């Protein structure tokens, strides 16, 4: 007789399954024989093993500080290139709220390098980091708005000096950007991918920056290099998925 025939259990998909069961007895049955489902194992591999074991190496503040310092060394005026160079470093995970700083920082860096009206890049990046650290993780699923788009929206607000009482047209312009970027994300659907969402947010921003400021950022076509590391990759549903040949 096989071991699997002796033991009867329902594998746990995630911790939320326990806390949202609404039934103490049901939750107790789950933990009597705590066994991870294949999905939960894949998710843990993607977030812990898949990033080289660096998930606990840095605090969020350390990750964001390293992102800012790295961007200050970049000379490219292509936000996608700045993103690719920075996201390959060990302080950026496959998914994580550090992207709420990274994505906007890439736009500010490229905008400055392309000659945009942003004379003090270090100060702008400091402000962007402060805004990004205020954005909680998982807002794409919990609040219905993507952190990548919020990050780039914050970068645009920094460029224009926009606030909630601004009447110079920038308030509405930034809303037009965020609504366009979110519409593109919505067309593809979930689950989230912090790399795909960043690509869409930045490519939409390249168009916005050219139209609003007359600054041409070299937003080159992207082929995702992170697909094998993403347990929830959409495959060919994603416009950045590597081609078959």
Give the pLDDT confidence of 31-79 residue by residue, as tens digits: 554 455 544 444 444 444 445 555 668 899 999 999 999 999 999 999 9
Return the pLDDT at 54. Answer: 57
Give the start-to-end residue ranges of the domains of the chain.
3-49, 60-220
CA–CA gap between residue 129 and residue 119 (Å, rounded): 17
Return the pLDDT at 15. Answer: 46
User: 128-175 pLDDT, tens per residue?
Assistant: 999 999 999 999 999 999 999 999 999 999 999 999 999 999 999 999
CA–CA gap between residue 105 and residue 68 (Å, rounded): 7
Choice between 7 and 211, residue whose per-residue pLDDT is larger: 211
CA–CA gap between residue 5 and residue 8 (Å, rounded): 7
Average pLDDT over residues 174-183: 97
> Is the pLDDT at 209 greater than 50, yes or no?
yes
Residue 104 contacts residue 145 (beta carbons within 8 Å) = no
pTM for the model = 0.78
How much is the mean pLDDT over the chain?
85
Residue 45 contacts residue 95 (beta carbons within 8 Å) = no
Choice between 109 and 51, residue whose per-residue pLDDT is larger: 109
> Is the pLDDT at 98 greater than 60, yes or no?
yes
């Amino acid at each position: 007789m096989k071991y699997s025939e002796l033991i009867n259990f329902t594998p746990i998909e995630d911790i939320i399954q326990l806390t949202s069961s609404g039934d103490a007895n049901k939750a107790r049955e789950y933990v009597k024989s705590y066994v991870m489902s294949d999905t939960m194992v894949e998710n843990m591999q993607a977030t812990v093993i898949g990033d080289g074991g660096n998930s606990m190496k840095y605090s969020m503040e350390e990750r964001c500080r390293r992102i800012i310092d790295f961007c200050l060394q970049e000379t490219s005026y292509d936000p996608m290139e700045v993103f690719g160079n920075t996201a390959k470093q060990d302080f950026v995970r496959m998914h994580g709220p550090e992207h709420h700083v990274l994505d906007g920082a890439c736009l500010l860096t490229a905008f400055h390098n392309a000659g945009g009206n942003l004379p003090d890049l270090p100060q702008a990046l400091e402000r962007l980091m402060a805004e990004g650290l205020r954005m909680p993780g998982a807002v794409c699923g919990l609040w219905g708005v993507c952190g990548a788009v919020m990050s780039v929206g914050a970068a645009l607000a920094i460029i224009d000096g926009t606030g909630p009482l601004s009447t110079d047209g920038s308030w509405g312009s930034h809303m037009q950007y965020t609504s366009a970027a979110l519409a593109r994300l919505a067309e593809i659907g979930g689950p989230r991918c912090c790399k795909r969402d960043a690509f869409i947010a930045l490519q939409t921003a390249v168009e916005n920056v050219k139209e609003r400021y007359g600054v041409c950022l070299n937003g080159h076509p992207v082929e995702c290099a992170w697909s094998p590391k993403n347990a929830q990759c959409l495959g060919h549903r994603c416009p950045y998925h590597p081609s078959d040949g």
